[in-house]
Structure 1
Amino acid sequence: MSLTVIKLGSSVVVDEDGALRRDSLASLVATLAVRHGAGERFVLVSSGAIARGVRELGLAARPTTMDALQAASAVGQGRLFRDWDDLFAAEGRTAAQVLLTRYDLGDREAFVNARRTLHRLVELGAVPVINENDTTTTEEISFGDNDLLAAQIAMLLGADRLVLLTSTDGLFTADPRRDPDARLVDEVRDVEQALADHDVGTTTSSLGTGGMRSKALAADMAAAAGIPTVVANGLRPDAIRRVLAGEAEGTRFVAGDARWSSFKLWLRYARPSRGTIEIDAGARRALTAEDTSLLPVGVVGVTGDFKAGDAVEIRCAGEAVAKGISGYASGALRRVAGERTARVRELLPTAPEEAVHRDRLVLL
């Protein structure tokens, strides 16, 4: 049984006036229903709640303040899910609403619970329709855009494929709206190189928050889990059928072998960092070349206020080296920074030997 995570941008879900693109979405759902009947399974990540709320509230434009955005989302989320529920019901399928915040994926226990729930919904034959819980999120705990949320959901579920549907045909060599010579990039094997080679910006529609850069970064995240990504035009009538059939459509981001375990993927991409540990060159060499834990003796500086168990970024000479779960609170680590193990035991007898254990660390 294959599992595909499909993210639909706001411009695919609603038009510029915030009205649902019902005919387009009905065609997409009909395609999914046919393949669902053949045993394939799907999870949707749907933008458009705020845009739907803006229309329902009669606002002239998308709000810019957090409280107004949350108010629009509170109105729009229910209407948007009702739309999806009606569309799937017309095809004899069951949709399930799931609202998430970054906290739900940043906390390991909540992450595992979300995975279990989504897997159970899929096993029961439902189609989860996921959106960020904009009514309660703040800037500190928001995903920023649903491209990154979709990538995290794909990694969480171990999906076979991630599809990002937008209002453009894919990644171009330049902005096609400004450069008539811009060409569609059919395949990307190195996201960093693609970002450097092409004019990949963050320009968005008035409805959403994403852009082609966020889609490329989401594809890079999925690639780390061995999941290929396709970015395609969700407004093209036959696009989703062609993507699911493996035909050439949009831009395909190739994934290599999965690089990390589920825990390290969660740590790298879902767990927010609460501070920074600066290390010396010897500690960097030990981490990167010898696969060791980080000991207090290699620590030269601590930035931020964090607790034991929080995620921290590990840097050397200002360059990000790793991310890990700290065994120390920031105050305690400052006290023993640069000290050898024997001295650490004198100063803090109950403290762990490792500042960050190698099993709770991922190299960047």
Structure 2
Amino acid sequence: MGTVVIKLGSSIVCDDAGHPRREVLEHVCDEAAALHAAGREVVIVTSGAIARGMGVMGLGMRPRAVDELQAASAVGQGQLYRVYDELLNERGVATAQVLLTFFDISARTHYLNARQTLQRLLDWRVVPVINENDTTTTDEISFGDNDFLAAQVAVLLGAELLVLLTSTDGLFTADPRLDPSARIVPLVEDFEALAALDIRQTTTTLGSGGMRSKVVAAEMATAAGIPAVVANGRTPGVIAAAAAGEAVGTRFPAQEASYSSFKLWLKYAKRSRGTLAVDAGAARALREGGTSLLPVGITGVRGGFDAGDAVEVVHDGEVVGKGISNYAAGELRRVAGLKSAQARELLPRASEEAIHRDYFVLA
């Protein structure tokens, strides 16, 4: 039987004071244990370490400074995992704490190692409890309450289902807290149609995500052929209903898989640090030929970025795609428009490609 990835947001895990919502976590663990007993593989991706640390330290508002966020996470992470471990052990389920960063699932060797380790835990019938390692990275803080991390874990494991638990009943036509006429959207098959909806990036005092990040996470998962459900984590039975294919929350059916997990991460989650303008020939080659981008096709460089950063590629003001640059911005400005041999004379150790085709994804 397949793998079910269950993601809990901060507002589900902790109350406004940063204390664990014990009754919510109990029914989540009840349902996770039931799936496990039925032979399903279960993975829990949890937010809430920062929220729990805030509660322990008596912080009234979510900090803004990175060092304070990371310190709060360090205080709260162990205590948060202890709750899951205790509740799942009481239900006869062994657990393992796993802390990941987006680098772990974007760099190829780290990706393979993470996948092998998680798969071994599942083979041992252990439930991994995963959180972003935000004591040493700012990706969780930047990318929205672990929604993208959960989608990436689902893609990495080839999951059967991604369940994103939030504090509302699903995706609404508008924010139900602000618009009484807002209606739930039970099924999303066309993500472009969601542009007409008022999907705000609002969040709680303790969280960093919002419905928009959940929609994008669902888009990422479904593009890999994995269905997703956004549902109210405070309502008992939603995980079991989602896993059974019942109508609960907002369901996002699987699409035909067209991208690798790395390119899904690059397309949806990695922030662009600059822009490369390209000529018509380069744009056509990228769109139709699946080629790498060479310096000769670059007509302009905007922004300050380093080698290894993501950059957008544009032609005539239209975004062609996004890729990982092999050059820093200053280096690209020196070699833009030059043929490969000329570029190597100026930068002898530089790569022939400005962006390799394996590290580029179309818009």
Instruction: Tell me if both proteins adopt one fold, taking TM over 0.5 as the criterion.
Output: yes
Identify if the C-alpha distance between structure 1 residues 135 and 71 changes in structure 2 by more than 3 Å, giving closer, same or farther. Answer: same
- Between the aligned partners of 1:221 and 1:103, the Cα distance in structure 2 is 17
1:63-117, CA deviations, whole angstroms, 9 ceiling, x for partnerless residues?
A: 3332322222222111100000000100111111111223333433222222221
Q: Is the 8 A contact 2:134 2:141 kept in 1?
A: no
Q: Is the 8 A contact 2:216 2:268 kept in 1?
A: no
* Residues matched between the structures, number: 362
What is the root-mean-square deviation in Å for CA atoms of aligned residues?
Answer: 2.4
- Between the aligned partners of 1:150 and 1:38, the Cα distance in structure 2 is 22
1:172-194, CA deviations, whole angstroms, 9 ceiling, x for partnerless residues?
A: 11222222221111000122321
Indicate yes or no: 2:336 matched with 1:337: yes
Indicate yes or no: 2:202 matched with 1:203: yes
Identify if the C-alpha distance between structure 1 residues 111 and 257 changes in structure 2 by more than 3 Å, giving closer, same or farther. Answer: same
Gaps of 5+ in 1: none
1:306-357, CA deviations, whole angstroms, 9 ceiling, x for partnerless residues?
A: 33x6543322234321223445454443333223456556666776554333
Q: Give % identity.
A: 60
- Between the aligned partners of 2:238 and 2:336, the Cα distance in structure 1 is 56
Following TM superposition, by how much is the alpha carbon of 1:288 offset from its aligned partner in structure 2, in angstroms?
Answer: 1.0
Identify if the C-alpha distance between structure 1 residues 243 and 33 changes in structure 2 by more than 3 Å, giving closer, same or farther. Answer: same
Amino acid at match of 1:28: V
Indicate yes or no: 2:243 matched with 1:233: no
Gaps of 5+ in 2: none
Identify if the C-alpha distance between structure 1 residues 78 and 202 changes in structure 2 by more than 3 Å, giving closer, same or farther. Answer: same
SS of match in other structure, 1:173: coil
Following TM superposition, by how much is the alpha carbon of 1:228 offset from its aligned partner in structure 2, in angstroms?
Answer: 1.2
Partner residue in 2 for 1:93: 93
Q: Is the 8 A contact 2:17 2:60 kept in 1?
A: no
Partner residue in 1 for 2:72: 72
Partner residue in 1 for 2:321: 322
Partner residue in 2 for 1:5: 5
TM-score between both structures, scaled by the size of structure 2: 0.90
- Between the aligned partners of 2:46 and 2:329, the Cα distance in structure 1 is 39
1:100-119 correspondence runs (5 A)? 100-119=100-119
Amino acid at match of 1:191: F
1:196-225, CA deviations, whole angstroms, 9 ceiling, x for partnerless residues?
A: 221111111222111111111111111221
Indicate yes or no: 2:258 matched with 1:259: yes
Following TM superposition, by how much is the alpha carbon of 1:27 offset from its aligned partner in structure 2, in angstroms?
Answer: 1.9
Q: Is the 8 A contact 2:306 2:328 kept in 1?
A: yes
Indicate yes or no: 2:14 matched with 1:14: yes
- Between the aligned partners of 1:6 and 1:321, the Cα distance in structure 2 is 34
Partner residue in 1 for 2:175: 175
Partner residue in 2 for 1:277: 276
Following TM superposition, by how much is the alpha carbon of 1:168 offset from its aligned partner in structure 2, in angstroms?
Answer: 0.3
Q: Is the 8 A contact 1:163 1:229 kept in 2?
A: yes
Partner residue in 1 for 2:217: 218
Partner residue in 2 for 1:357: 356
- Between the aligned partners of 2:257 and 2:313, the Cα distance in structure 1 is 23
- Between the aligned partners of 1:236 and 1:290, the Cα distance in structure 2 is 49
Q: Is the 8 A contact 2:170 2:230 kept in 1?
A: yes
Following TM superposition, by how much is the alpha carbon of 1:263 offset from its aligned partner in structure 2, in angstroms?
Answer: 4.1
Q: Is the 8 A contact 1:102 1:143 kept in 2?
A: no
Q: Is the 8 A contact 1:106 1:270 kept in 2?
A: no
- Between the aligned partners of 1:201 and 1:256, the Cα distance in structure 2 is 24
SS of match in other structure, 2:286: helix
Amino acid at match of 2:30: A
Identify if the C-alpha distance between structure 1 residues 57 and 301 changes in structure 2 by more than 3 Å, giving closer, same or farther. Answer: same
- Between the aligned partners of 1:231 and 1:248, the Cα distance in structure 2 is 11
Q: Is the 8 A contact 1:103 1:141 kept in 2?
A: no
Larger mean CA deviation between 353-362 and 28-37 belongs to 353-362
Amino acid at match of 1:115: R
- Between the aligned partners of 2:58 and 2:342, the Cα distance in structure 1 is 66
Q: Is the 8 A contact 2:314 2:320 kept in 1?
A: yes
After the TM superposition, list the runs of 4 or more consecutive aligned residues in structure 1 that deviate by more than 6 angstroms: none
Q: Is the 8 A contact 2:263 2:359 kept in 1?
A: yes
Q: Is the 8 A contact 1:101 1:142 kept in 2?
A: no
- Between the aligned partners of 1:306 and 1:63, the Cα distance in structure 2 is 28
Q: Is the 8 A contact 1:5 1:161 kept in 2?
A: yes
Partner residue in 2 for 1:120: 120
Larger mean CA deviation between 62-71 and 146-155 belongs to 62-71
- Between the aligned partners of 2:204 and 2:140, the Cα distance in structure 1 is 23
Partner residue in 1 for 2:62: 62
Following TM superposition, by how much is the alpha carbon of 1:32 offset from its aligned partner in structure 2, in angstroms?
Answer: 1.6
